[in-house]
Amino acid sequence: MKNDLKDIKGLFVLDNREATLDGIEKIKKAIIYTSEQIKQLHDGVVEEKNIPTMCTAIINNFFWLVNTLDKSKESQLTKDLDYLYKHCLFSIIRVRDFNDYDFVPGCVKVLEDISESWDRVSLAADKAEAFG
């Protein structure tokens, strides 16, 4: 994934359907890409010498996802997503530091569920009357 996702603040414009849907799509792509990386780790596709590098890339993706959250609003959704992303982050740190894959299947499931939820949000945003 190219690192063109640095400025998350500019992704969402309240009255612009295209910008909102584009922002949702970028987040979803990051989640799917990260999930695929984790599956590769879990399936043993990644050479042992490359595992720390892959884990670092995944960790960076999770930091980006955490930074997509507007923590100034202190909503329950923000808190829940923050917790879930950090749980997944913990899972990958366990792989990197202790070669412990026990949490990886749960991490992948969480990411799949979040991605599915973003699909529903995208559909709702696309149909929203607020956009005119």
- Residue 99, sorted as left (phi over 0), alpha (psi -120 to 50) or beta, turns out to be left
**Average pLDDT, consecutive stretches of 10 residues, N- to C-terminus, the chain (132 residues):** 50 63 87 94 93 95 90 85 94 95 94 91 78 58
What is the rounded CA–CA span in Å between residue 94 and residue 107? 12
- Work out the number of other CB atoms within 10 angstroms of the CB of residue 20: 21
Question: What is the model's pLDDT at position 121?
Answer: 83
Question: What is the model's pLDDT at position 132?
Answer: 55
In a 13 Å sphere around the CA of 36, the CA atoms on its Cβ side amount to 7
The domain segmentation of the chain, as residue ranges, is 14-127
Q: Kindly compute the dihedral angle of the four CA atoms of residues 76, 80, 85, 89, in this order, to the nearest 10 degrees.
A: 120
- Token pair 């956009």 is found at 131
- Tell me how many degrees the CA angle 92-98-103 measures, rounded to the nearest 5: 45
Superfamily of domain 14-127: Flagellar protein FliS (1.20.120.340)
